[in-house]
Amino acid sequence: MSRVPLRPLARILSARQKGEDHKAIENENKHQRMLAARGRQRQMAEGRLLIASICFAAAFIAVGAKMFILSTTEAAEPRIASTDAKIYPQRANIVDRNGRILATNLSTYSLYAQPQMMTDPETSAVELAEIFPEIDAQKLLADFTGGRKFLWIKKKISPEQKQLVHDIGDPGLLFGPREMRLYPNGKLAAHVLGGAGFGREDVHSAEVIGVAGVEKTFDEFLRDPAQQGAPLELSIDMTVQDASAQVLQGGMKIMNAIGASSVLMNVKTGEIVSMVSLPDFDPNLRPPPTPAADPTLNPLFNRALQGVYELGSVFKTFTIAQALDSGLKTKDSVVDTRSPFVIGKYKIKDFRNYGTELSVEKILVKSSNIGTARIATEIGAERQREFFKSLGLLDVAPVEMVEAHGGRPQFPKKFSEISTVTMAYGHGIATSPVQVAAAYSSILNGGLRVTPTILKTPSVQPGPRVVSEETALTMRKLLRKVVLEGTASFGEVAGYDVGGKTGTADKPDPKGGYYDDKVIATFASVFPASDPQYVLIVTLDEPSETSSGEPRRTAGWTAVPVAAEMIRRIAPLLGIRPVIEPGPGFGIIQAKSSSQ
Amino acid sequence: MRLLIYLSLGMMVMFLAFWAYRENYQTQEALRDVEKLQSEIGRLGAGIRVQEAEWAYLNRPNRLRELTELNFERLQLMPLAPQHFGNLEQVAYPVLPILGQITDTVELRGQLPDDEGDISTTTGQQP
């Protein structure tokens, strides 16, 4: 038997002495102890609950507070993560194929006014007009006193001008930082680059956006921070571009032309190495587009890309190439050239009478319309259309410039018999010089189609075949003969083996019909003809050569000498060594390989 | 024993608190430094871009052409023309400088190995 202590001992002992039952006391005591223990447990449980609820509340408050902070504060850049990040300009540079800068950014300032802060609007207006001669003091004063709260005075000012404005000392004249686009070479390649302007702007910064040329086409690329400031590399060679522009400017003046353009294309890659259009402009001060009577006279108009012209006899090359390639003719086949050649109600004549018959070679060398027209009738409308299409003459030139879409070729929807005949010698179809350059390149590089591009492309996928290699070889020889014996005799440049085809087309009169005394003279040339590397198209608008007293307008007298001078200047710059032309009877003979 | 543990724990907490405090301020200082350096890099980068723009502007073909024309008498620079290409044979070898009078000679005596590796005694005067 176990001994259990009697509790509460004092009361039990006294109760025992009195003879009372101690059990009741003991039970009561047990009951009270139990109640006390239960109270303690309850307190503990409550305490635990409290701690748990505090923990939960703290967690929810922390999450809530973080959410509140995130939603109310502005996002800061993670500074530690960006330690190796460089700071790039807002807009990437544009460089030529050798990495020389064509367009870059410069930090400058804009000038704005808050008239309500100005102390002396009259003096400020007068002094500002002195600093910026193009500002009218009266108009400025009216703006200052007219209740306006804010106005731009100049979007771009130089540091010197900033200092001068600072010296006026008016607290209402304020400066904001600006990035401006700078074209350090001025007018050089103006049509290719286009120009830039400001997009959305405020006092602290402004968006620089491209408004024309590659600046507009590659606007997103140039502004993309992910490119890390990588420049846009063009296929243009700055030195060649400058030399071409200089020669063309001189040629345009001597030949009394109102406009001129030249395109130099790499025959293998389709890269446009130089593209000149005159008159030109300074992209730093891009003139506003003026709604002129004739948009083609606007300096902003890119004749090489936007100007679609009937280019005349340069198209004979395509007709003859097709005739040779399809096996219809060989270069020695004889074609009837009796004048006039009547088709429907039209009579086709030659510049001169070339007798009753000519070989295909002579047709190209002497540029006989009748001969080409007869060949075209044999080719037929459908095949001609397909061939022109394969050369890219019927589609917009896929050059990466917004202006390319302005140069949509014009030709009849339906190739009728008469249109086939006229298109064979370049009438009734209007194309841009760039398209002709690409078509000549495609034929002469060995017969693989090239796509014209303004971007540096060191290697390209070979395009689909347009003519056979054999035809390409024959065409090179024929074009060389045009220079040696034919209409382009002024095109000879010693050592550079120039080949080419002239084209003189009457200019269409907007009132209908053609002008008698206005022509477009074109020379499509290739050099060196023995191993073609570049195609050069020179086009003069309304040239007339007057050295002999009588105006001469044919391309042979106008466009050809200009192109020859251009080749003399640019071929050495392109690194082409002058070669002694292989004499007749020498050269590479095509041998059939034994495996075939 | 227990006291020692409590004391050392307390010391440790104090030390860690001190360390954390210092690290915090050092990190902030480093971040400020980085920011300052980055803004300086940005400033210098902008400066370089200005220099590059100026270089391109001063070297624009138009200006170079004018300068060569202005200084034609001195520089005699011409536009590159086909006849400027030459053959390697056309380039003359540089004229060897004529040896001046040899003075201050020092007498040397030594052995030069000949082709077979034998050593022959030579005497000579070397400048």
pLDDT tens per residue, range A2-22: 777 767 888 888 888 888 887
Mean pLDDT confidence for A366-375: 89
Task: Dump pLDDT digits (tens) for A238-268.
Answer: 999 999 999 999 999 999 999 999 999 999 9
Nearest to B45 among A87, A495, A568 (CB): A87
CB A442 within 8 A of CB A415: no
Rounded Cα distance between A244 and A248, Å, is 6
Task: Dump pLDDT digits (tens) for A200-230.
Answer: 877 777 888 888 899 999 999 988 888 877 8
CB A342 within 8 A of CB A310: no
Question: A389, exposed or middle or buried, with CB in 10 Å at 0-12, 13-18, 19+?
Answer: exposed
For residue B57, what are its two tokens? 């502007």
Residue numbers in A near B82 (CB within 8 A): 493-496, 568, 571-572, 578
Instruction: Identify the H or E element spanning A110.
Output: strand A101-113
pLDDT, position B86: 74
Those residues of chain A whose CB sits closer than 8 Å to some CB in chain B are: 79-80, 82-83, 86-87, 89, 100-101, 104-107, 182, 184-186, 188, 238-239, 242-243, 246, 493-496, 568-569, 571-573, 577-578
pLDDT, position A218: 92
Rounded Cα distance between A31 and A296, Å, is 114
pLDDT score of B112 more than 80:
no
pLDDT band for position A80 (cuts 50, 70, 90): low
Mean pLDDT confidence for B9-34: 95
Say if the Cβ atoms of A186 and B46 lie within 8 Å: no
pLDDT score of A501 more than 80:
yes
pLDDT band for position A88 (cuts 50, 70, 90): low
A210 DSSP β-pair partners? A196
Closest-CA residue of B relative to A187 is B62
pLDDT score of A83 more than 50:
no
Q: How many CB atoms lie within 10 A of CB A3?
A: 5
pLDDT, position A596: 39
Residue numbers in B near A578 (CB within 8 A): 82-83, 85
Beta strands in B47-95 (DSSP E): none
A90 DSSP β-pair partners? none
pLDDT score of B126 more than 50:
no
Those residues of chain B whose CB sits closer than 8 Å to some CB in chain A are: 31, 34-35, 38, 41-42, 45-46, 49-50, 52-53, 56-57, 59-62, 65, 79-85
pLDDT, position A242: 94
Q: Which residue has the higher pLDDT, A2 or A354?
A: A354
Please tell me which of A61-75, A176-190, B9-23 the model is most confident about, judged by mean pLDDT. Answer: B9-23
**Residues of A identified as active-site:** 313
Rounded Cα distance between A269 and A534, Å, is 10
pLDDT score of B94 more than 50:
yes
Q: How far is B56 from chain A (nearest CA, A)?
A: 6
Domains by residue range for chain A, with CATH? 94-233 (3.90.1310.10), 239-287+301-573 (3.40.710.10)
Nearest to A568 among B41, B45, B81 (CB): B81
Q: How far is A101 from chain B (nearest CA, A)?
A: 6
**Omega cis (within 30) before A340:** yes
Rounded Cα distance between A338 and A349, Å, is 9
Rounded Cα distance between A261 and A278, Å, is 6
Closest-CA residue of A relative to B35 is A79
Instruction: Identify the H or E element spanning A213.
Output: helix A213-217
pLDDT band for position B116 (cuts 50, 70, 90): low
Mean pLDDT confidence for B96-111: 76
Nearest to B60 among A186, A246, A569 (CB): A186
Residue numbers in A near B34 (CB within 8 A): 79-80, 83
For residue A191, what are its two tokens? 């049509």
- Chain Cα centroid distance, residue A537: 20
Q: Which long-range contacts (CB under 8 A, 24 or more apart) does A337-346 make?
A: A337/A363, A337/A368, A337/A370, A337/A371, A337/A374, A338/A370, A339/A370, A340/A370, A341/A369, A341/A370, A341/A373, A341/A374, A343/A373, A343/A377, A343/A417, A343/A418, A343/A421, A344/A417, A344/A418, A346/A418, A346/A421
Q: Which residue has the higher pLDDT, A516 or A563?
A: A563
Which of A82-96, A257-271, A388-402, A540-554 is predicted least confidently?
A: A82-96
Which residue type, as a one-letter code, is found at position A429? I
Task: Dump pLDDT digits (tens) for A561-595.
Answer: 999 999 999 998 998 888 765 555 554 555 555 44
pLDDT score of A494 more than 90:
no
pLDDT, position A594: 47
Nearest to B57 among A80, A184, A493 (CB): A184
Rounded Cα distance between A278 and A245, Å, is 8
A526 DSSP β-pair partners? A499, A535
pLDDT, position A580: 66
Q: What is the DSSP letter of A535?
A: E
**Omega cis (within 30) before A8:** yes
ipTM associated with this complex: 0.73
Q: How far is B86 from chain A (nearest CA, A)?
A: 9
SS3 assignment, position A284? helix
Q: How far is B76 from chain A (nearest CA, A)?
A: 17
Q: How many CB atoms lie within 10 A of CB A520?
A: 28
